[in-house]
Amino acid sequence: MDSPITGTAAGVPFTALPPADGGPAPLILTWHMLDAPRSDPAFAAALPMHDVPAWRVHLGMPMCGARMVNGTMDAGLELVRKDVLMAYLYPFVKQAFEEFPAALASIREQLPVDDGPIGVLGGSLGGAVALRVLAETDAPIFAGAVVNAAIRMRSVVDLFPGDYPYDAESEEAVDSLDFLPKADAIAAHAPLLVVSGEQDHPGLRADALRLADALGERSELLSIPGLAHPLADEPGIEPAPQLPQARAVDAGLTAWFRRHL
């Protein structure tokens, strides 16, 4: 089985899985969940896509994995307590999205990936990053996929206790991360596989169904029976054996990306 390669790309930690022959091949970039698996090596273990003839490069999200503060998620949890939207969700997506161009350029310099269109994949909050790349950049992309994604950030905010105290700034921020109105831009950019666990949070599940519907023929919906929101067991920081539901997601992603390569 291909051995992971770890490194950093323009300051972003990554875990790369080479294609079977280890040589030049297309590139698929991923952004992991902040639920388990909540690091790039753990996401690579949960969704390795071994049978895709491409480099799968899993990027680390802010303050996760190699970027954890003092080796724990405590600093991130403190941001959740401070302001779940404006200190945590919104800036994490913003930072990961803004890191994308330089990270991509650095990966092209470090690994034998071809200079053709890339694939993009995001899970949960990482899904919002992948959707921003699809909706708001002109990067050449051959196909995208999201898994239990943060499609409408309001739905994610609603998962946290209490009523969020929206003001003008936070309303603007949360609406900027609502990808249902951006479905036409996403569909025009690349075909998208929307993977949704049938046991995911009801709001996120409903958003996934709506996005797949809004994307029309440029999209496919893959529902995974028995899959809740996470793809791995807690704590989800270190690589772990692939769970059965994650294996089903992995098989669907593998078939999707192989078809569009």
CA distance 12 to 62: 8
DSSP states of the chain as a string? -PPPEEEEETTEEEEEE--TT-SSB-EEEEE--SSSS-SHHHHHHHS--TTSSSEEEEEPPTTSGGG-BTTBSHHHHHHHHH-IIIIIIHHHHHHHHHHHHHHHHHHHHHS-B-SS-EEEEEETHHHHHHHHHHHH----EEEEEEES--SBHHHHHTTSSS-----HHHHHHHHHTB-STTHHHHHHH--EEEEEETTS-HHHHHHHHHHHHHHGGGEEEEEETT--S-SS-TT-SS--PPPHHHHHHHHHHHHHHHHH-
Find the radius of gyration of the CA atoms of the chain: 17
- Band of pLDDT at residue 74, cut at 50, 70 and 90: confident
Q: Please give the average per-residue pLDDT across 30-56, as a whole number.
A: 97
Q: Which two tokens stand for residue 6?
A: 């770890």
Instruction: Go through the chain and tell me how many residues it has.
Output: 261
Residue range 192-238, pLDDT digits in tens: 999 999 999 999 999 999 999 999 998 999 999 999 999 999 999 99
pLDDT of residue 39: 95
If one counts every other C-beta atom within 10 angstroms of the C-beta of residue 205, the result is 18
pLDDT of residue 63: 73
Measured in degrees and rounded to the nearest 5, phi and psi for residue 170 equal -75, -30
Average pLDDT, the chain: 95
Strands 141-147 and 192-197: parallel
pLDDT of residue 100: 98
- Band of pLDDT at residue 62, cut at 50, 70 and 90: confident
Q: What is the pTM of this model?
A: 0.96
54 Cα distance to chain centroid: 17
If one counts every other C-beta atom within 10 angstroms of the C-beta of residue 72, the result is 11
Enumerate domains of the chain plus CATH numbers. 5-260 (3.40.50.1820)
- Band of pLDDT at residue 1, cut at 50, 70 and 90: low
Q: Which two tokens stand for residue 64?
A: 């996760």
